[in-house]
Structure 1
């Protein structure tokens, strides 16, 4: 492991300095005294720290340690799933400990400090904002088109349980992410310049269009929406929202005084999006 990390760092870094004792299983990272001394500024005989090299080290440590938090969510059977905190590098504590270890010869090893990263959405919030349904919309598709059905399900799962806070903007492309083969998307029919073709992720426009019709509410401001170049069969004319990773996006802003919860499901040829919030939800005009 140590040899592999050293090889990687030599390739990536303009100078040679290493990380040791990296245990990815429990995210433990330890720096030995010899490694710490490599971060001295050249020609200063160890009097000063090379801050640029140290900054690069911090980026690598962050990448090794970071574990994303998991928001609370609602399962298919309606159970609220517990949120889970993540882990990140404690930057402030690390700067203090690193300088102590750099200048104090009695310190032979530095255990890189970590701290918890708490999710934005916990069970209490989910419990509160699942109470009032603000809107919903359903569209239908042929399950026999397995590739397209698969893509619809993947995109629906990506937006399901997503919480949009007051004043926050939701971007379909950012939330769903790039539609690639590596991420599980398949080739299926799409509309390109008014013509039917096949491409990776075909079918997800039905998800974005269903979402658009569900969030077309007084308290939701549509920021960005584009129609297909020809009519689509799953929504009435003018009620679609085409999306493409390198092109159109569907974006809206939450203008309510409370967070809104998106609940999306693709099952048995039916694509459904429901919008929820708390009982105290009110439209905020900004005036």
Structure 2
């Protein structure tokens, strides 16, 4: 637990942020003063910056509920963030009244987007699906497909919300485990980090090409690919094409994706109602 220590031993009135007994941040009251005629005011721009620094120290990202391989629901985990409203009130007391002399940053719960109750409701009906095949003996390409499938698995797209493949999967890097594998660039076959993930985006495109889903952005490769029929692919790259679709249903939809034993499978699920 981070502790904010307010010390009044010096005229400058230092404020220190201490984590496990070690000071990780320090500033003084005068840093936030604004004088207007004879009235002492707080520089709220600086206070907002300081609260952002404190929030970075205590923030814990919430974790959405998701489905395990066997279909069991893995429970969500709420996160933690700085309660800026309460901290601002306490800072006012410190700034104007010199009290309290010690406080802990007030926290608020950050709830995940998807909880277990929602997940159990929207996994009951299959509204779209598609499967493609790949060669599992190509270990580098297979690993890339597995990582991209894991990234989109259990992702929920709410009504009116758009899904961006690049936004959800993120940048494909060595640090994330992506390997060099064949990719198509300007009609030529070459190698690049993350080669093979276009099979995931193409399988997803065919799974969501259904009533109630609007394809917002899709591009085909500059040459045909073997895993889908001509014109049914969706190429993606981090600094280039993206695959984007929008949920036009009045209920959330759930993406289930798996890459096992040479099969890339995607199901689109929702509630029965």
**What's the TM-score, normalizing by structure 1?**
0.85
Task: Show the counterpart of 1:250.
Answer: 243
Counterpart CA distance in 2 for 1:43 and 1:256 is: 55
Q: Determine if contact 1:130/1:277 at 8 Å carries over to the other structure.
A: yes
Counterpart CA distance in 1 for 2:221 and 2:112 is: 36
Q: Determine if contact 1:37/1:46 at 8 Å carries over to the other structure.
A: no
Question: How do residues 108-127 of structure 1 correspond to structure 2 at under 5 angstroms?
Answer: 108-127=101-120
Task: Show the counterpart of 2:206.
Answer: 213
Q: Gapped runs of 5+ residues in structure 1?
A: 3-16, 281-287
More strand by share: 2
Task: Show the counterpart of 2:8.
Answer: none
SS in structure 1 of the partner of residue 249 of structure 2 = coil
Q: Determine if contact 1:40/1:50 at 8 Å carries over to the other structure.
A: yes
Q: Determine if contact 1:101/1:109 at 8 Å carries over to the other structure.
A: no
Counterpart CA distance in 1 for 2:16 and 2:177 is: 34
The equivalent position to 2:128 in structure 1, one of 127, 135, 142, is 135
Q: When the two structures are aligned, how many residues end up with a matched partner?
A: 259
Task: Show the counterpart of 1:12.
Answer: none
Task: Show the counterpart of 1:163.
Answer: 156
Cα 1:38/1:21, change in 2 over 3 Å: farther
Q: Is 1:102 the counterpart of 2:99 in the alignment?
A: no
The equivalent position to 2:29 in structure 1, one of 29, 37, 52, is 37
Q: Determine if contact 1:159/1:176 at 8 Å carries over to the other structure.
A: yes
RMSD: 2.3
Give the C-alpha shift of residue 67 in structure 1. Answer: 1.0
Task: Show the counterpart of 1:239.
Answer: 232
SS in structure 1 of the partner of residue 19 of structure 2 = strand
Task: Show the counterpart of 1:79.
Answer: 72
Counterpart CA distance in 1 for 2:30 and 2:103 is: 14
Q: Determine if contact 2:158/2:253 at 8 Å carries over to the other structure.
A: yes
**What's the TM-score, normalizing by structure 2?**
0.89
Cα 1:18/1:245, change in 2 over 3 Å: farther
The equivalent position to 2:19 in structure 1, one of 19, 22, 31, is 22
Cα 1:135/1:99, change in 2 over 3 Å: same
Residues 143-187 of structure 1: CA deviation (Å, up to 9, x unaligned): 111111000000000000000011110000000001111121111
Q: Gapped runs of 5+ residues in structure 2?
A: 3-13
Counterpart CA distance in 1 for 2:30 and 2:71 is: 54
Q: Determine if contact 1:39/1:49 at 8 Å carries over to the other structure.
A: no
Task: Show the counterpart of 1:178.
Answer: 171
Counterpart CA distance in 2 for 1:239 and 1:50 is: 57
Give the C-alpha shift of residue 56 in structure 1. Answer: 1.5
Counterpart CA distance in 1 for 2:233 and 2:94 is: 60
